[in-house]
Amino acid sequence: MDQEAKRIIETGNGILGIEFGSTRIKAVLIDEKHEPIAGGSHAWENRLENGIWTYHLSDVWEGIQDAYADLVRDVREKYGVTLKKVAGIGISAMMHGYLPFDAEGNQLAEFRTWRNAITGPAAEKLTEAFAFNVPQRWTIAHLYQAILNGEAHVGQIDYLTTLAGYVHWKLTGRRVVGTGEGSGIFPLKDDTGTYDPARVAQFDQLIKPCGFKWTLTDILPEVIPAGADAGCLTEEGARLLDPTGELEAGARMAPPEGDAGTGMVATNSITPGTGNISAGTSVFAMIVLDHELSRVHVEIDNVATPDGKPVAMVHCNNCTSDINAYAEMLSGFAAAAGAKVSMNQVYEAIFGAALQGEADCGGVINVNYFSGETITGLDEGRPMLVRLPDARFSFANMARSLLYGAVATLKLGMDILTEEERVRIVSLLGHGGFFKTGTSGQQLMAAALNTPVSVMKTAGEGGPWGMAVLTAYAIRREEGETLGDYLKNRVFAGAEGSTVEPKAEDVAGFNAYIRQFKAVLPAEKAAVSGLTENK
């Protein structure tokens, strides 16, 4: 038993980070050296209801309570004590989306997640009005689309927030979000890290004929930077998190962040020239900029680090979901054949075989679109595997095509940054499920982007660990200590990791594959048009 970890838990000096991912809610407890000492998780899935990807708020609370209870069990099993107090808590979640409430706190519309591509007209009009790319996922795009749709609930909105902002509000009573999260709600002004007042005024003027009683700043959460005071866990919040009554109120709360921000922290990618790739259900690359982009690109999001530095974000809605679907199918085949194979073994087989496949996948092309992709102009998706009649349809080539398909759309967006905008990338660090099985994901991502890709030992902890670190910064930072200095000197000094350089044959193979991938996209569009959802 780790006696030091036990002491930290008993004295209430642990720090808790919780992140709502697309398929798992994870909780991580860290010690005073930022090392994980306990963890818990809960599996959940989004629902497609009436054409909208959503989660019920009951799922949110059942999930966070189960993840926290799982962490409490882990603490008890490892250290023989009951977790009753923590020094700080940070909440992170999938960015963007739409969660509106009235003055009594009643939910006014279903939670519309980042996965929805249903705000095209709003995003286009706002991008033109602001001369600033407003992606379909952003909260402001969802709000304006609801206005364009004439949805009756809009006039009743008292508070509009994201998932992280909602959970933080319920735990603390504070209507705030961190800078990174805020940058996915509405455009920020670079030198202040708050909503751009000129564009706020533009929006208010745009909707003035509607006669709403609110203005935009009335209903949006306040944006505060990393390290700021974001309130404390209330008694009511403690019961929401831990219905057993064991957890004490009073823990310091960090500004709630999006998964993009926690990914940047978890990979120490918050200084210009650094970048990270988060690859799970969705995939996005975040590159911290040292110069402004020359023009608006609808494929590139302009967001911010948790401490307010400008970031170019290439976001794709689809990444590992199709790999997961094939894994389930292969597991079913193994069971039907009478073989006892675990899901871990199935994933190991897929990722391992991918490295044995031909560099260009031998004529096998996978389009992994479960949902739409702005970068390729699709509002919906239809997963499809296409192959030439003379393709070498081996398991290895199919496996490689699954991994290539998971990052193909990201490649299309990143080319805009590196080739058109000449953005300098000093380092790329990967984290998320795509990088967890051997080095296959790392090697093939390096091939796709023709850039070395590193994975840190701590990357497996991902967003909840990054959120715990942000919380530690809020509590322990010294006067004048920047987030960058805190990460460099206190968190990542001597951190272990591995770097994979792109291989020339893999780069050439991926370039051949991406040409075929682009050639297949008209068929994907035809499938979206002709193949409707099963009812």
**Domain residue spans in the chain?**
96-161+186-219
Kindly indicate the confidence band of residue 495, based on its pLDDT and cuts at 50, 70 and 90.
confident
Out of 202-216, 282-296, 363-377, pick the least confident.
282-296
Is the per-residue pLDDT at 412 higher than 50?
yes
Q: What is the pLDDT of residue 271?
A: 87
Q: How far apart are CA 367 and CA 520, in angstroms?
A: 8
Is the pLDDT confidence value at 533 over 70? Answer: no
Angle between helices 395-415 and 321-336 (to 10 degrees): 170
C-alpha–C-alpha distance, residues 41 and 468, integer Å: 15
Instruction: Locate 434 and state its tokens.
Output: 């795509």
Q: Of the ranges 244-248, 262-266, 477-481, which is most confident? A: 244-248
With bands split at pLDDT 50, 70 and 90, how would you rate the model's confidence at 363?
Answer: very high
Helix (H) or strand (E) holding 472: helix 462-476
Predicted pLDDT of residue 535? 42
Beta strands 88-93 and 257-258: pairing type?
parallel
| pLDDT of amino acid 40 | 97
Indicate if the pLDDT at residue 342 is higher than 60: yes
Local confidence band at 147 (pLDDT 50, 70, 90 cut-offs): very high
The class of domain 96-161+186-219 in CATH terms is: alpha beta
The pLDDT of residue 497: 81
Distances 64 to 24, 27, 93, 455, 532 between C-alpha atoms, Å: 10, 8, 11, 28, 34
pLDDT-derived band at 387 (thresholds 50, 70, 90) equals: very high
Rounded to an integer, the average pLDDT of 136-146 is 97
pLDDT at 148 over 60: yes
Instruction: Please name the residue that has the structure tokens 């069990």.
Output: 73
In the predicted model, what is the mean pLDDT of residues 294-321? 92
- Strand runs labelled E in 44-155: 47-49, 52-54, 88-93, 99-101
- Each residue of 204-245: pLDDT tens digit? 999 999 999 999 999 999 999 999 999 999 999 999 999 999
Residue partners of 343: CB distance under 8 A and separation at least 6: 327, 331
Question: Which whole number is the average pLDDT over 438-466?
Answer: 86
pLDDT band at 1 (very low <50, low <70, confident <90, very high): low
Local confidence band at 534 (pLDDT 50, 70, 90 cut-offs): low
Taking the C-alpha atoms of residue 491 and residue 405, their distance in angstroms, rounded to an integer, is 34
Of the chain, the percentage scoring pLDDT greater than 90 comes to 83
Better-predicted residue by pLDDT, 230 or 424 = 230
- Residue 115 is predicted with a pLDDT of 86
H or E element: which one contains 285? strand 283-288
pLDDT value of residue 436: 87
The chain-wide mean pLDDT, for the chain, equals 94
